[in-house]
């Protein structure tokens, strides 16, 4: 069956739309819901999805033409299927100004002239979806060469799709591309909620001052808050198994290992090395491992093993002056703890205002797996531990 | 004495000058062409043409001999080649008539051909002998002169030899040097080829390897990365002293031919100062020198010293001097070896394409299974470098006896930026040698 594709009405005031670009060529297979073309109205540029699956058997309105809402622009059907004879020619409003690329204004002939281009130029244009009638030819007699198409593509890249000037284009590095994909996958697939608490961390500070010389003496590494928090979080996770779980095939799988990842900023990206079985390791071992993993992260020598298997992640933006934020869960984990800066602030202690070192903890959790109270209990458990000097000292045993 | 006046003065009647003059006359300019020697330049008179004719005749004779030797029902008694006589005949029966007909072509178009050495006196006047010529525009195409080492013979004199040397040292692993080396090798000389870099610079490596191997199999001794220090005459023997990475070497031979060094004939500019680049006359992409009404074309511009480069430059310079506005594009200049075997490299080599970041697919095809190659005695390989992403043909390379028949297909396919699929959809005739392109490209088709 042939399905007609018509110019959609995207807003109350829309009366016509300009076909900016067909994302499929005649003869291409299309799936229902797949992006089919880009249209432009006075207000927006929008991608239109295919209304049916099959083949794009005929494009009635070419790129560049402006078509009233509701008018026929293409047919989708089976290969070889007959297109109903078009009784009334589609009412196509000739575009006044061609969507020419910046600084390459090409005079458009009234009737589309046959485009003269070399086979290499045509092959490139076809693969890159370039309309050759928009490209100025520099070859003999105006023949469009491969170079001309390449220059045209460069020209397009000099502007964003909405026509904004681009200062510089940075290709996504493989690391950046992975981050982009994982982060959007995370937000697309999970129901993420962030809760925050600001708490007094004077006990943590005190313990750090106390343990720092011991650690330094034993392993020659300066003690930071990261290994201490990893150890504390691992301890609290033991009591809150749902936070240390994953959702797989409609089952919540509570994981029997506690592997805590910590985010490390590297050039143009972020990596998350993992301390495996953090609950079973001593503070000293975690300090050594953190130091080693952070070095490998900076040198770009982390192995796949170093960054896999995490069950929970800590991300610390305190050094950048951040308080609370909404970290994004590192899938397939179900929660992540964001740590803010430690800052001295007035706080009420025993009914009196005092200056205390406060830190904001931001816990993002996947609401599909964890409910608010479960998450709040975990965060509360962590804060209670950080506030209990005896218990904390016990957890943060050096070896 | 009154001066002659013209719209276009062409200085030099080699490939570049001939075509510039021809184009000027066709475009209706009053054109004068000054040439001190016969028309046709080095290429026709003392270079590629007599060499190619000679090699072609030898190839034909070898085909006949093969038919006799391999029992094709051909009997042949006593096939001897008198090379000295053959060179003389080529000169008198092929070269001189062709040079004469070039003059006829120009004169029939109304070009005044003046015999003599021209010297520019200013931006609009030149002197040829006692004659002063006032011009509006000029195309300078005086080419190169030999600048070889003392004691050696210029390769351009190979047709003038009195006897075939039993041993000959050829300096220069370029197209002309290899052509001369193969010619003497075919005549039975022991040939020693010396090159201070690598053979056939700029050709695809597989092509260079094929040619090198073929020459070695013919018994040519090859020294690469070898620099000639001097040549000492010892009576009838010449001793070539060379240094290569292994050490020093002295080679005795009857003759030494130096095809490695040429210098531009810039003295023609006399009273006009033009910008030079690396010793050659600098021209822009319209072939204009730094003096706007004076164009230059051919070897004097320091481009690849092939006649086909000179010819295209001559045409474009001639057209632009006639009011045109054409730019030259050297992207698809084929490098051409007319030797035995011959070879060409057009467009990007495999290594160049990779260097430029192309995802490269390579198609190779031998002429062994090509019917017409068998008929014509052609053999060899063709190698096509294709952009794997879009199917664009980036380079076409060939080596083998008779393979140069394909050089123009290669030049056109590259010049017009063809793709593998476009060639496969083209009706390349059968049986032809050229259909080897289809046999190669089917291996890398995108469809």
- Show me where the domains of chain B are located: 4-146+263-321, 155-260, 341-444
CATH of domain B4-146+263-321: 3.50.50.60
CB distance A118–B421 less than 8 Å? no
Confidence band (pLDDT; 50, 70, 90) for A52?
confident
CB distance A118–B416 less than 8 Å? yes
- The number of helix segments (H) and strand segments (E) in chain A equals 9, 18
Residues in chain A: 399
Interface residue of A116, A118, A120, A127 to substitute, partner B, most B CBs within 10 Å: A120
Shortest Cα–Cα distance, A119 to chain B (Å): 5
Of B433, B364, B419, the closest CA to residue A149 belongs to: B419
Tens digit of pLDDT for each residue in A297-322?
988 888 888 988 999 999 999 999 99
Which class in CATH covers the domain with range B341-444? alpha beta
| Identical fold, B155-260 and B341-444 | no
Domains of chain A: 1-96 (2.40.50.100), 100-169 (4.10.320.10), 176-395 (3.30.559.10)
Across A55-69, A178-192, B213-227, which has the greatest mean pLDDT? B213-227
The answer, yes or no, to whether residue A89 has pLDDT greater than 70, is no
CB distance B392–A127 less than 8 Å? no
Interface residue of B417, B425, B444, B445 to substitute, partner A, most A CBs within 10 Å: B417
Closest residue of A to B421, CA-based?
A: A119
Residues belonging to chain A with any Cβ–Cβ distance to chain B shorter than 8 Å = 118-124, 127, 145-146
Low-confidence ranges of chain B (pLDDT < 70): 1, 446-447
Q: Is pLDDT larger for residue B215 or for residue A250?
A: B215
Of B255, B84, B236, the closest CA to residue B170 belongs to: B255
Q: Which residues of A touch B389 (CB under 8 A)?
A: 127
Contacts of A378 (CB under 8 A, 6+ apart): A236, A237, A240, A243, A335, A363
Mean pLDDT of A80-105: 50
Of B443, B410, B412, B428, the closest CA to residue B207 belongs to: B410
Tens digit of pLDDT for each residue in A223-248?
999 999 999 999 999 999 999 999 98
pLDDT of residue A207: 95
pLDDT of residue A12: 64
Question: Chain A neighbours among B 230-289 (CB < 8 Å)?
Answer: none
The answer, yes or no, to whether residue A101 has pLDDT greater than 60, is no
Residues in chain B: 447
Contacts of B404 (CB under 8 A, 6+ apart): B336, B337, B338, B342, B343, B344, B398
CB distance B390–A121 less than 8 Å? no
> ∠ CA A273-A277-A278 to the nearest 5 degrees?
75
CATH of domain B155-260: 3.50.50.60
Mean pLDDT score of chain A: 86
Helix (H) or strand (E) holding B135: strand B131-140
CB distance A146–B392 less than 8 Å? yes
């Amino acid at each position: 069956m042939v399905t007609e594709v018509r110019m959609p009405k995207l807003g109350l005031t829309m009366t016509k739309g300009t076909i900016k670009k067909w994302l499929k060529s005649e003869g291409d297979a299309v799936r229902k819901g797949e992006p089919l073309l880009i249209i432009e109205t006075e207000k927006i540029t929008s991608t239109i999805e295919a209304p049916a699956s099959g083949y794009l058997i005929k494009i009635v309105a070419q790129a560049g033409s402006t078509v009233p809402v509701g008018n026929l622009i293409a047919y989708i059907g089976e290969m070889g299927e007959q297109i109903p004879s078009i009784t009334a020619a589609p009412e196509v409003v000739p575009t006044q100004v061609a969507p020419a690329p910046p600084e390459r204004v090409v005079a458009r002939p009234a009737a589309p002239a046959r485009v003269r281009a070399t086979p290499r130029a045509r092959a490139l244009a076809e693969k890159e979806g370039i309309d050759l009638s928009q490209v100025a030819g520099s070859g003999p007699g105006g023949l469009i060469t491969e170079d001309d198409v390449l220059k045209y593509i460069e020209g397009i890249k000099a502007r964003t799709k909405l026509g904004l000037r681009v200062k510089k284009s940075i290709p996504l590095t493989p690391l950046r591309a992975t981050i982009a994909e994982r982060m959007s996958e995370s937000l697309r697939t999970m129901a993420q909620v962030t809760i925050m608490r600001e708490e007094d961390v004077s006990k943590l500070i005190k313990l750090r001052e106390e343990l720092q010389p011991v650690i330094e003496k034993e392993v020659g590494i300066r003690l930071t808050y990261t290994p201490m928090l990893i150890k504390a979080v691992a301890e609290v996770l033991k009591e809150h198994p749902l936070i240390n779980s994953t959702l797989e095939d409609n089952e919540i799988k509570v994981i029997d290992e506690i592997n805590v990842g910590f985010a490390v900023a590297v050039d143009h990206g972020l990596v998350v090395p993992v301390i495996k079985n953090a609950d079973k390791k001593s503070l000293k071992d975690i300090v050594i491992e953190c130091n080693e993993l952070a070095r490998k992260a900076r040198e770009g020598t982390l192995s796949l093993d170093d960054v896999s298997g995490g069950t929970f992640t800590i991300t610390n933006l305190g050094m950048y002056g951040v308080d609370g934020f909404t970290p994004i869960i590192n899938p397939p984990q179900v929660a992540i703890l964001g740590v803010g800066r430690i800052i001295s602030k007035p706080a009420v202690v025993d009914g009196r205002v005092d200056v205390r070192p406060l830190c904001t903890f931001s816990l993002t959790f996947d609401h599909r797996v964890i409910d608010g109270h479960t998450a709040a209990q975990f965060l509360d458990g962590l804060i209670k531990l950080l506030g209990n000097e005896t218990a904390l000292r016990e957890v943060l045993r050096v070896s | 004495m009154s001066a002659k006046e013209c719209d276009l003065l062409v200085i030099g009647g080699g490939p570049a000058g001939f075509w510039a003059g021809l184009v000027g006359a066709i475009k209706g300019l009053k054109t004068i062409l000054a040439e001190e020697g016969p028309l046709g330049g080095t290429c026709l008179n003392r270079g590629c043409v007599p060499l190619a004719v000679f090699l072609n005749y030898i190839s034909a004779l070898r085909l006949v001999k093969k038919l006799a030797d391999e029992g094709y029902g051909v009997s042949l008694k006593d096939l001897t080649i008198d090379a000295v006589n053959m060179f003389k005949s080529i000169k008198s029966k092929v070269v001189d008539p062709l040079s004469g007909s070039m003059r006829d072509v120009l004169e029939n178009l109304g070009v005044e051909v003046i015999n003599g050495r021209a010297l520019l006196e200013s931006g609009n006047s030149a002197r040829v002998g006692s004659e002063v010529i006032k011009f509006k525009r000029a195309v300078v195409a005086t080419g190169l002169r030999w600048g070889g080492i003392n004691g050696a013979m210029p390769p351009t004199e190979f047709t003038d030899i009195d006897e075939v040397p039993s041993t000959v040292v050829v300096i220069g692993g370029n197209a002309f040097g290899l052509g001369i080396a193969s010619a003497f090798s075919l005549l039975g000389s022991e040939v020693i080829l010396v090159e201070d870099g690598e053979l056939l610079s700029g050709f695809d490596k597989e092509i260079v390897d094929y040619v090198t191997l073929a020459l070695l199999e013919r018994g040519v001794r090859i020294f690469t990365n070898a620099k000639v220090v001097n040549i000492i005459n010892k009576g009838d023997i010449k001793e070539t002293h060379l240094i290569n990475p292994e050490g020093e070497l002295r080679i005795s031979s009857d003759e030494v031919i130096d095809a490695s060094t040429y210098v531009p004939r810039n003295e023609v500019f006399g009273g006009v100062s033009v910008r030079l680049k690396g010793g050659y006359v600098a021209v822009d992409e319209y072939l204009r020198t730094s003096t706007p009404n004076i164009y230059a074309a051919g070897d004097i511009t320091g481009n690849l010293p092939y006649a086909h480069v000179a010819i295209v430059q001559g045409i474009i310079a001639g057209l632009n001097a006639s009011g045109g506005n054409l730019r030259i594009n050297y992207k698809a200049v084929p490098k051409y070896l007319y030797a035995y075997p011959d070879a060409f490299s057009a467009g990007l080599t495999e290594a160049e394409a990779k260097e430029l970041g192309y995802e490269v697919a390579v198609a190779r095809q031998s002429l062994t299974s090509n019917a017409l190659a068998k008929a014509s005695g052609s053999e060899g390989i063709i190698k096509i470098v294709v952009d794997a992403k879009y199917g664009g043909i980036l380079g076409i390379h060939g080596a083998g006896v008779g393979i140069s028949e394909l050089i123009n297909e290669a030049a056109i396919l590259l010049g017009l930026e063809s793709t593998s699929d476009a060639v496969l959809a083209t009706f390349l005739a059968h049986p032809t040698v050229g259909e080897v392109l289809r046999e190669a490209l089917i291996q890398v088709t995108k469809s």
